[in-house]
């Protein structure tokens, strides 16, 4: 074996060790969010900090630097297989970025955000923004430190966007969000003026938690979720975590007065999980074994939740199953009426409960706030007032409490600034993928109506999931759809769908 081949094998083994640390850290985070005793959180946060510090130091070690120097040499790099070449590219990007952050500063940040998530839960429960304020101020302050250390082009926020959607910038987002808002707001106004409003009264009843869970488990099986490689748990804020392709866990929440919430949250998180469970085996144990970006990841969850899960075809097949899980509660309500009810459009306070149309406006509020925090035009202490005024401007409603307003999302507690835009990007990618899917699988909604969801899962696995991080998001969307991100597909989808629902 030649010297460069030995280096390649040592590099891959080194990255696999780093992935093992990531898996352990991910499991600890999952435990803290699902069942860890409250008194154990501070100590567990310290453990996460210690393990994260080891992982961080490995990413910037002399040994990693040596691997990268050797494997980026033109002669060696030209002989690398495609997977290892992309592994090197990704590690080099992380190395160059992380090398600029002192390890002790990174560990302090990991411990801070781990503790902040637990504080956020209490602050939200008690409607007490002041409790969370010092943590959030420190998280923003440290992110500003990181941005200066990393360096950036254009807007400071670009450095954070790149963590979740490589290549995305404020300039691009401003453009696509302006396009969406220009057509979404008039459509929302037309819907509000329509006399053909859906009846939702039959949803205003109590639905047993046990039956909600039973139906959620049923739907996961129908969608092809592998329970030998995952599980379903309950938490405050639904999420999916991919520890490895053979261990991808889903959480959801069950609201007794809202059966639709758990169903859609479960379908949404299953979309994420199917991505992680169907990564190509050749990527296992590498830094390519994951979603290429959060926007592409969200395209999978939003595709399943909204474009499939809220469709008439879907409920023509599964509405009878829902009725059987809740005997007597939905008798006399036809599937078509149920579909109209769950596609109701109305400005609301909570992002994760928002309809498809107003959801993007929720994201724009957060996007504008995050830009403001990092260009210095907004202060953390002023966020409740800013949040409420922007909700009034964008959605015409104002939160009565901070728990229903600025405290509703966990993302900022975890330091995930730059993440929110990926949700709207996911909606855009999803509509663009649906357009391509319908060309390649013209009977897609006939399959849905027949309960044959696996061909759709397989198409997504073949075109998106199996590739992991081998392609950049912009490259992947071009490979699959033949063009760059185009918000027109989402706008056309929304206009066609809701003109039909509301008789416009």
> If pLDDT is split at 50, 70 and 90, which confidence band does 1 have?
low
Q: How many CA atoms lie within 13 A of 323 on its CB side?
A: 15
The structure's pTM equals: 0.92
- pLDDT of 151 > 90? The answer is yes
* Token code pair at residue 265: 């949250």
Mean pLDDT of 464-470: 98
Q: For 265-299, write each residue's pLDDT tens digit.
A: 999 999 999 999 999 999 999 999 999 999 999 99
Instruction: Name the β-bridge partners of 36.
Output: none
From 165, 222, 269, 305, the catalytic residue:
269
Mean pLDDT of 156-163: 96
3-class DSSP assignment, residue 196: coil
Verify whether residue 269 is a known catalytic residue: yes
Radius of gyration of the chain (CA): 23
Per-domain boundaries in the chain: 3-151, 170-501
The DSSP-derived string for 430-443 is: HHHHHHHHHHHSTT
14 class by beta-carbon count within 10 Å (0-12 exposed, 13-18 middle, 19+ buried) = middle
**Cβ atoms of residues 225 and 5 within 8 Å:** no
Going by CATH, does the domain composed of 3-151 fall within 1.10.150?
no
Query: What is the pLDDT at residue 35?
Result: 84
Q: For 62-74, write each residue's pLDDT tens digit.
A: 999 999 999 999 9
Query: What is the pLDDT at residue 237?
Result: 79
**What does the H/E/C string look like for 354-381?**
CCHHHHHHHHHHHHHHHHHHHHCCCCHH
Average pLDDT, the chain: 95
Share of residues in the chain with pLDDT > 70 (%):
100
**Cβ atoms of residues 308 and 441 within 8 Å:** no
How many other C-beta atoms are found inside a 10 Å radius of the C-beta of residue 375?
12
CA 264/CA 254 separation, integer angstroms? 11
Q: How many CA atoms lie within 13 A of 403 on its CB side?
A: 9
* Token code pair at residue 319: 């509405």
What architecture is the 170-501 domain classified under in CATH?
Orthogonal Bundle (1.10)
């Amino acid at each position: 074996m030649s010297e460069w081949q030995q280096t390649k094998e040592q590099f891959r083994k080194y990255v696999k060790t780093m992935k093992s640390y990531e898996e352990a850290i991910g499991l600890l985070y999952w435990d803290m969010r699902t069942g860890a005793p409250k008194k154990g959180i501070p100590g567990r946060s310290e453990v996460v900090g210690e393990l994260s510090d080891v992982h961080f130091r490995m990413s910037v070690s002399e040994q990693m630097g040596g691997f990268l120097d050797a494997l980026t040499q033109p002669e060696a790099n030209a002989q690398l297989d495609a997977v290892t070449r992309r592994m090197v590219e990704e590690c080099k990007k992380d190395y160059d970025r992380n090398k600029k952050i002192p390890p002790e500063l990174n560990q302090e940040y990991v411990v801070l955000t781990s503790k902040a998530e637990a504080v956020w839960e209490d602050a939200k429960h008690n409607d007490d923004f002041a409790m969370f304020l010092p943590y959030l101020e420190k998280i923003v302050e440290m992110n500003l430190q990181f941005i200066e250390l990393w360096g950036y082009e254009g807007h400071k926020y670009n450095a954070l966007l790149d963590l979740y959607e490589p290549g995305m910038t404020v300039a691009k987002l401003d453009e696509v969000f302006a396009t969406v808002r220009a057509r979404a707001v008039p459509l929302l106004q037309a819907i509000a003026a329509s006399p053909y409003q859906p009846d939702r009264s039959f949803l205003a009843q109590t639905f047993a938690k046990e039956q909600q869970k039973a139906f959620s488990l049923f739907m996961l099986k129908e969608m092809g979720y592998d329970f030998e490689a995952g599980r379903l748990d309950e938490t405050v804020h639904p999420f999916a975590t991919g520890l490895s392709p053979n261990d991808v866990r889903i959480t959801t929440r069950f609201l007794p007065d809202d059966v639709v919430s758990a169903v859609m949250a479960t379908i949404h998180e299953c979309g994420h999980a199917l991505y992680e469970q169907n990564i190509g085996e050749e990527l296992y144990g590498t830094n390519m074994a994951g979603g290429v970006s959060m926007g592409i990841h969200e395209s999978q969850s939003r595709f399943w939740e909204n474009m499939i899960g809220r469709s008439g075809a879907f409920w023509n097949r599964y509405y009878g199953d829902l009725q059987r899980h809740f005997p007597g509660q939905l008798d006399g309500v036809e599937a078509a009426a149920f579909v109209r009810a769950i596609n109701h459009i109305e400005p609301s306070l909570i992002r994760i409960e928002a309809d498809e149309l107003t959801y993007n406006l929720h994201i724009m509020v957060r996007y504008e706030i995050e830009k403001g925090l990092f260009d210095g035009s907004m202060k953390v202490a002023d966020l409740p007032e800013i949040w409420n005024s922007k909700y009034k401007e964008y959605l015409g409603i104002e939160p009565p409490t901070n728990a229903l307003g600025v405290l509703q999302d966990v993302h900022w507690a975890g330091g995930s600034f730059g993440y929110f835009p990926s949700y709207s990007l996911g909606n855009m990618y999803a509509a663009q993928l649906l357009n391509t899917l319908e060309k390649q699988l013209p009977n897609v909604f006939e399959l849905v109506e027949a309960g044959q969801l696996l061909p759709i899962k397989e198409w997504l696995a073949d075109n998106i999931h199996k590739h992991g991080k081998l392609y950049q998001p912009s490259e992947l969307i071009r490979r699959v759809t033949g063009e760059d991100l185009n918000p027109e597909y989402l706008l056309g989808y929304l206009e066609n769908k809701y003109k039909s629902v509301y008789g416009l």
